[in-house]
Every structure is written in C-alpha cells, then in structure tokens.
A and B are shown apart, each in its own frame.
Chain A
C-alpha cells in the first residue's frame, strides 16, 4: 500500500483533468479503486461510490445532503460524533431528531428503532458496529423495515467495512459511509460514501469535476455530482491496492480471524480480577475494538503503562461518542480500547494479556 502511494506521489497527474498519460494513470487508479469497492460491497454500479477525505466527510454529506427542514430522523444512542454533531446542527435548522437508547451491552433493539418511525420520518441512521462497545447493531432488520415504509437508511460502517461481510443490496441500505484507513487498510485521507441510485442528495461541495466544463452548474451524474476539486488520488491509489488484498483474502476469512482473536482477548480479560470489558460477551456479536476498564485506575494511566511496559499502543478515554459512553456507564472517564486487526497475532494478544496482569500486580 505504502509503495503504491509513493509511486503515485512521484508520478503525480491530476485525474480526469486532462488527456495526457499521467492524468490517465491517475484516473485509472480512481476507477480501479471504485470498481473494487463495488465488488467488495456487492454492487453492480461502481459510479455510486463517491470518494471522500474520511468517514466524517461522507457522513456529513449524507446527513446534510438528504435531510431538509421538517424531516424526522431516527438514530441510535451509540452514534459517533461524526453523525451526532451533523444531526444536532440539522436540528437547529428544523430537522426533528429521535435518539433510540441502546441496552447496557451497547446493542440497540431493532423493534425500538422501528417503533420510533412516524409520519415524516425521512431517514434512519445506524452505526454498523459501535466504536466504543464493539457491538454489532441490527442494521439488516431496521433497514428492511425502513425500506418497506419508504424511509432511507444511512449506515456508518467505520468499524466494519473490510472486516465484516457487507452486501449492500441485500441489506436494503441506501447510503453507507466508511473511512479508507481502518478495516479497508488504506491510507489516511481516504473514505467513501455509497449512494443508491434514485436517492435525492444535494452536494455539500460544488466545483470542478473535469466534466461538463462548458457549464457553470454542477453535473447531476455520479460520481461527479458529489466529487468536486482535485481528489486524493495518491491516497486512493494506496487504497486500491489494499482493496485488492482484501478481495483476494476474503472478508469472511478476515472476519473469522478477528472473531478468534477477540474471543481470546475476552476470555483473557474475564480471567483477570479487577478488569472489566464492555459490549457483548459473544465475539460473533461484536467487532474488534474491545473497551475495558481497570478497577481503581484511570484509563490514561493504563494506556501509559501498556505503552511503557510492553510497547502496546491503545486508545484511552472517550472515543468520540459521549452517548455511547453514557450507555455503557463509562462517561466521563472513558475506557481503554484495544483493537486486534488482520495483522495481529495470537502471540501479541497473549503478550497484551500478560502486560494487563502485570498492571494488576498478578503473576503473568
């Protein structure tokens, strides 16, 4: 991936702005990345995948591009701030927002979500898996009910894209956002928004697209409608290589490995007195970030000790989702979060558990 980025940055070339060889190379990188995204998510038409700088930009585009004053929107209480803050902004402009609380394990009940639908509900927003508790949410059931009632479904797949199989058409999802730099193993500064054909959406950013240059109006066809300005073609060249790797490896196999590692992690943590994890205890009902607390110790102190003592890097504190923490009862101190990925080994999980025991002054 790093080599693809480096090659692209040395080659330069602005995609779709010219007909010379470098511009074509760059346009081809974008095209192949888009085609791979479509394959990964089971879609025919890759033009519906719009590149963004990250998941946050994609979520803002979806929320602010679709909702209008008077619309009603339903979301879970475990949304990331990249959903909650745009929703609160829209609320000031006359959008009505209903937040459906999750249970103590961080999972929202699909029936509660559907019960919140009412006349005027335009959209339901759901995080596919919470970045705080790791809990997978019942997106399929809610999206299917929403589709039957003509309500759009926006999914925040930041914690699942590339690590949990997602077939967009069979999920009845209308909009789906994800970053390139997490499970898709791409570089920072990449992300995408999928928009199903026929979903009315207004671009947040308008400008040069390399198409329809004779007109001073934004094109309405995809992906140009939502992609203005010079894209991060260097980053997307890297993302494209990562997507090819994921397609070769298979998301199912990546997921199996993640479930196995999370299972070892949860078993290990459960055996350490005074350490408690959050979210579903069943590894198949959750994803990789495992949030935990060590009794009587500040999360940042735990993080610091893991780094100093064992060279293990974790995230400590509030994970950009205050409501997610309130749901788990970990607001405002937060949690420590450890996230095994596709390149994590069982040995590394064992080393982490040893370091955690040491923090609790237990024999390793």
Chain B
C-alpha cells in the first residue's frame, strides 16, 4: 500500500485542548496539517493527533515550542500503515 507519496509525520499530544491549540498555531503559521484520530497502535491515548508533511518538521517544531506545545511523541509514517517513533 504505497499511500504516503510524501513522507508524513504524526504528532501526539497530551490532551484534546493541546491538540486543538497546536492545530490553531500550525494553521496560523501556514503549516499544512490534518487533524486525525490517533492511530490505535501508536498509543492507547483516545482522541486526536496531527498529521503534517515530514518536510514541515522544522517549521512545526519552531511554532509549537514558541507556544509551549511540544508533542508527547512524534511518529514517522512508513507508508505501509506502520509508524516509527522519531524525535521531534
């Protein structure tokens, strides 16, 4: 399943408020992103996560750390439905 033509990254946050705050800041900063349900096998966390193109990692990191919204964890999408834990 070669779904991810462009490599993507999934950001998981502490809680719903933090996800939506991160969404707001990333949109304000012009980072293309999507709100997605947290993939079940990433964490047992219920709720939402943010998906961004891997190429946006640096910009996203800058924006999020400026608003004190560091993700709990970041995951690389492998394109085959699998994910690799990655530093953010």
Per-position binary interface string of chain A over residues 27-54, scored 1 when its CB falls under 8 Å from any chain B CB and 0 otherwise: 1101100110000000000110000000
Q: Do the beta carbons of B15 and A213 come within 8 Å of each other?
A: no
Closest to B39 in A: A19
Known contacts A27-B20, A47-B17, A224-B17; A213/B37 CB under 8 A: no
Q: Which residues of B contact A28 (CB under 8 A)?
A: 20
B17 → chain A closest CB, angstroms: 5
Q: Do the beta carbons of B17 and A19 come within 8 Å of each other?
A: no
Within 8 A of A (CB), among B12-46: 14-18, 20-21, 24, 35-38, 43-46
Interface footprint category on B: 10 to 19
What 16 new A-B contacts, CB under 8 Å, besides A211-B14, A211-B47, A212-B14?
A: A16-B16, A17-B46, A19-B46, A27-B20, A27-B48, A31-B20, A34-B17, A46-B17, A47-B18, A210-B46, A211-B15, A214-B44, A219-B15, A221-B14, A221-B15, A224-B14
Task: Give the A-binding residues of B (Cβ under 8 A).
Answer: 14-18, 20-21, 24, 35-38, 43-48
A49 → chain B closest CB, angstroms: 10
Closest to A32 in B: B20
Q: Do the beta carbons of B37 and A18 come within 8 Å of each other?
A: yes
Q: Which residues of A contact B18 (CB under 8 A)?
A: 47, 221
Tell me the bound Cα distance from A148 to B83 in angstroms.
Answer: 51
Tell me the bound Cα distance from A222 to B37 in angstroms.
Answer: 21
Q: Do the beta carbons of A212 and B20 come within 8 Å of each other?
A: no
Q: Do the beta carbons of B46 and A24 come within 8 Å of each other?
A: no
Closest to A224 in B: B15
Q: Do the beta carbons of A19 and B48 come within 8 Å of each other?
A: yes
A139 → chain B closest CB, angstroms: 28
Per-position binary interface string of chain A over residues 202-245, scored 1 when its CB falls under 8 Å from any chain B CB and 0 otherwise: 00000001111110000101111000000000000000000000
Q: Do the beta carbons of A210 and B14 come within 8 Å of each other?
A: no
Task: Give the B-binding residues of A (Cβ under 8 A).
Answer: 15-20, 24, 27-28, 30-31, 34-35, 46-47, 209-214, 219, 221-224
Q: Which residues of A contact B16 (CB under 8 A)?
A: 15-16, 27, 30-31, 210-211
A285 → chain B closest CB, angstroms: 38
Closest to B20 in A: A31
Tell me the bound Cα distance from A224 to B45 in angstroms.
Answer: 14
Q: Which residues of B contact A35 (CB under 8 A)?
A: 24
Q: Which residues of B contact A15 (CB under 8 A)?
A: 16
Q: Do the beta carbons of A213 and B45 come within 8 Å of each other?
A: yes
- Identify B47's interface contact among A30, A31, A210, CB under 8 A: A210
Q: Do the beta carbons of B20 and A47 come within 8 Å of each other?
A: no
Q: Do the beta carbons of B17 and A18 come within 8 Å of each other?
A: no
Tell me the bound Cα distance from A212 to B35 in angstroms.
Answer: 19
Q: Which residues of B contact A16 (CB under 8 A)?
A: 15-16, 46-48
Please give me the 3 A-B residue pairs with the lowest Cβ-Cβ distance, nearest first: A19-B37, A16-B16, A211-B15
Q: Which of B20, B38, B45 has the largest number of chain A CB atoms within 10 A?
A: B20
